[in-house]
């Protein structure tokens, strides 16, 4: 397909997008789960979508209603993404790591009408949490739920075969499809607008309460197209998706990139390095997605050599800064010579820049690429708002079809994020070169100021990655009475290595400026993460205060 022949932005709903792909490749595989007997062609996938959509309509789900999905990447997840879109409902993705209080906040703030849950994940029993929050489920007639705590909530569904008090099961939902006529279903779809909100995601909220980001059919549909085009996807590609679907990485970079180009989705319910290697090998995947920590887990797995990666060609590493040595290793030993990096945020649908498969190695490892088609990206002085010249650091901003409609019921927060000229302010610091390639240098908030010197954690991290024995590293600022802040490094060591804090500091001396050398070094097994794979640096800062109380002396 000639990507240049297509207009950069199309006014199209996600349902119409699926229709086009089904028409072009009806018998190609659309969705595959390697660990169970679950394979659907595009035609079969669309039929499942239609049954779910008609079932929801039969139960009275209206255009504009929120449908929350609290689940790992189970087989029905992607079908629900399109079933809700087809009837004009808003898919509300729920973080799988949420606990009771977070779910309570989300259901309340979003004024959510419908909720789908699985039995649970890790140490959280989702059904139990829902029953505690909505005790009326035990006594209310289904479909007539009246919850004291959540007055908007109408229906709760269990994403499985089993029956739970007050909840509809998936077989029941599918059996209700016959209650909706083809005419009513078609009329509902004809009534939709590509600029309707179709997806709401609560941002990880590394600061303060999460905010519901409202994204439209056109914003995520078009973004998905270009994400795939920049990897040169065709219907022959098979994409391994081990990242969570509740996050943009899964449901836009993964699902919508595939649907736009007819590529097959090879989905993992949760990330396990062994499952990733097996899926790539068995299904001859041509692309693999992951955050840097996932790629590190695969590369360092003791069974890495036993699997065949020769089918791989491209994919995406994103979600947090991509260490250059890891990028190079993935290209060499996993055959992903055309791997790309994406950068953006949920509020930008989510990708604003991406590297291209034909960029030179330096740009593909040291930058996050250049602006997506029909998206403007610039770097501005956070103080004055003036555009920074090439090579000068400032705040990354973008404008275009991909900017969110706003935060749900948060007009002040929306006005803070999107200025009067339509520019979305990312809160990230970056530098752009003369050719428009962007490098992310840190967060406005992550910047460490030690005795008046600005220190960017990314710079220190990149150096520490080069030390033998260091598998992963995160650098944060810790409050210090003397200097305002000091540098602290949290290091994950490679297996069998025994470093001391002094070894790390000695390696820095003479290689990086003395004020950037970590005063504090802690060795850890892992990092506090958001469920979408972003390291929560504020939690590391809290840990540092406990680990190094002497900083305030």
Overall pTM > 0.85: yes
Last residue of a domain, one of 148, 173, 202: 202
Q: Read out DSSP for 301-360?
A: -TTGGGS--TT--EEEE-SS---HHHHHHHHHHS--TEEEEEEE-GGGSSEEEE--TTS-
| 132 within domain boundaries | yes
Whole-Å CA distances, 198 to 47, 59, 83, 104, 159: 20, 19, 11, 22, 20
| 378 within domain boundaries | no
| 176 within domain boundaries | yes
| CATH code, domain with 72 | 3.40.50.12780
DSSP assignment letter at 389? P
Largest CA distance in the chain: 74
Last residue of a domain, one of 167, 202, 237: 202
Six token digits for residue 447: 């910047």
Contact of 261 with 311, CB cutoff 8 Å = no
Last residue of a domain, one of 202, 227, 248: 202
* Beta-sheet pairing, 314-317 with 375-380: unpaired
Give the contacts of 448 (CB within 8 A, at least 6 positions apart).
454, 455, 456, 457, 475, 476, 477, 485, 487
* Beta-sheet pairing, 155-158 with 168-169: parallel
| 59 within domain boundaries | yes
| CATH code, domain with 538 | 3.30.300.30
Contact of 416 with 436, CB cutoff 8 Å = no
Identify the pLDDT of residue 482: 79
> How many structural domains does the chain have?
2
| 313 within domain boundaries | no
Identify the pLDDT of residue 273: 97
For 203-220, write each residue's pLDDT tens digit.
Answer: 854 455 789 999 999 999
For 483-513, write each residue's pLDDT tens digit.
Answer: 888 999 999 999 999 999 999 999 998 888 8
| 14 within domain boundaries | no
The pLDDT profile of the chain, 553 residues, written as one tens digit per residue, is 566 678 999 999 999 999 999 999 999 999 999 999 899 999 999 999 999 999 999 999 999 999 999 999 999 999 999 999 999 999 999 989 888 988 999 999 999 999 999 999 988 999 999 999 999 999 999 989 999 999 999 999 999 889 999 999 999 999 999 999 999 999 999 999 999 999 999 985 445 578 999 999 999 999 999 999 999 999 999 999 999 999 999 999 999 999 999 999 999 999 999 999 999 999 999 999 999 889 999 999 999 999 999 999 999 999 777 888 899 999 999 999 999 999 999 999 999 999 999 999 899 988 999 999 999 999 999 888 999 999 999 999 999 999 999 999 999 999 999 999 999 999 999 999 999 999 998 777 777 888 777 788 888 998 999 999 999 999 999 988 778 889 999 999 999 999 999 999 999 988 888 889 999 999 999 999 887 788 888 899 999 989 998 766 5
Six token digits for residue 552: 């305030």
Q: Read out DSSP for 220-288?
A: HHHHHHHHHHTTT--TT-EEEE-S-TTSHIIIIIIIIHHHHHTPEEEE-SS--HHHHHHHHHHHT-SEE
Whole-Å CA distances, 368 to 270, 355, 359, 377, 431: 26, 6, 11, 12, 10
Tell me the residue range of the domain where 512 lies. 448-552
Supply the angle between the helices 182-190 and 42-58 in degrees, to the nearest 10.
90
Whole-Å CA distances, 416 to 1, 301, 388, 400, 468: 40, 44, 21, 17, 43
Supply the angle between the helices 76-86 and 42-58 in degrees, to the nearest 10.
60
As separate numbers, helices (DSSP H) first and strands (DSSP E) second, the chain gives 18, 28
Q: Rounded to an integer, what distance in angstroms lies between the CA atom of residue 413 and that of residue 94? A: 21
């Amino acid at each position: 397909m000639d990507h240049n022949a297509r207009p950069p932005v199309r006014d199209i709903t996600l349902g119409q997008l699926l229709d086009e792909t089904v028409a072009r490749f009806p018998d190609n595989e659309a969705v595959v789960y390697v660990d169970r007997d679950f394979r659907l062609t595009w035609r079969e996938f669309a039929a499942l979508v239609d049954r779910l959509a008609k079932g929801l309509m039969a139960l009275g789900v209206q255009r504009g209603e929120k449908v929350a999905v609290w689940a790992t990447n189970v087989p029905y997840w992607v079908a629900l993404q399109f079933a809700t879109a087809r009837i004009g409902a808003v898919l509300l993705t729920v973080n799988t790591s949420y606990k009771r209080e977070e779910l309570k906040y989300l259901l309340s703030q979003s004024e959510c009408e419908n909720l789908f849950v699985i039995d649970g994940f890790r140490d959280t029993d989702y059904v139990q949490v829902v029953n505690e929050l909505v005790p009326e489920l035990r006594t209310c007639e289904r479909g007539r739920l009246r919850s004291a705590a959540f007055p908007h909530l109408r229906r709760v569904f269990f994403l499985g075969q089993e029956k739970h008090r007050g909840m509809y099961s998936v077989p029941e939902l599918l059996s209700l499809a016959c209650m909706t006529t083809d005419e009513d279903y078609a009329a509902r779809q004809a009534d939709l607008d590509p600029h309707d909100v179709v997806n709401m995601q609560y941002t990880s909220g590394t600061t303060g309460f999460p905010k519901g980001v409202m994204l439209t059919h056109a914003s995520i549909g078009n973004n998905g197209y270009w994400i795939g085009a920049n990897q040169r996807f065709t219907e022959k590609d098979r994409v391994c998706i081990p990242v969570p679907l509740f996050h943009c990485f899964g449901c836009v970079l993964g699902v919508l990139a595939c649907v736009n180009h007819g590529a097959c989705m090879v989905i993992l319910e949760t990330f396990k390095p062994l499952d990733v290697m097996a899926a790539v090998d068995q299904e001859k995947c041509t692309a693999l997605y992951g955050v840097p920590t996932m790629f590190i887990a695969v590369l360092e797995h003791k069974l890495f050599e036993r699997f065949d990666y020769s089918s791989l060609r491209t994919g995406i590493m994103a979600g947090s800064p991509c260490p250059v040595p890891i990028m190079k290793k993935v290209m060499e030993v996993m055959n992903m010579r055309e791997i790309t990096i994406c950068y953006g945020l949920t509020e930008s649908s989510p990708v604003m820049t991406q590297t291209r498969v034909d960029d030179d190695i330096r740009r593909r490892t040291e930058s996050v690429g250049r602006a997506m088609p029909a998206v403007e990206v610039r770097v501005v002085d956070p103080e004055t708002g003036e555009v920074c010249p090439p090579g000068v650091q400032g705040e990354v901003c973008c404008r275009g079809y991909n900017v969110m409609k706003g935060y749900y019921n948060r007009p002040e927060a929306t006005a803070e994020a999107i200025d009067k000229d339509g520019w979305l302010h990312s809160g990230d610091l970056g530098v752009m070169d003369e050719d428009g390639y962007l490098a992310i240098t840190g967060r406005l908030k992550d910047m460490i100021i030690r005795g008046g010197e600005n220190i960017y954690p990314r710079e220190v991290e990149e150096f520490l990655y080069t030390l033998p024995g260091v598998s992963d590293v995160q650098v944060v600022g810790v409050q210090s009475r003397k200097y305002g802040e000091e540098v602290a490094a949290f290091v994950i060591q490679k297996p069998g290595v025994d470093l001391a804090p002094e070894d790390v500091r000695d390696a820095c001396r003479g290689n990086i400026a003395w004020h950037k050398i970590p005063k504090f070094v802690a060795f850890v097994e892992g990092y506090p993460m958001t469920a979408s794979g972003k390291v929560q640096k504020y939690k590391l800062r809290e840990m540092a205060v406990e680990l190094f109380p002497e900083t305030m002396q």
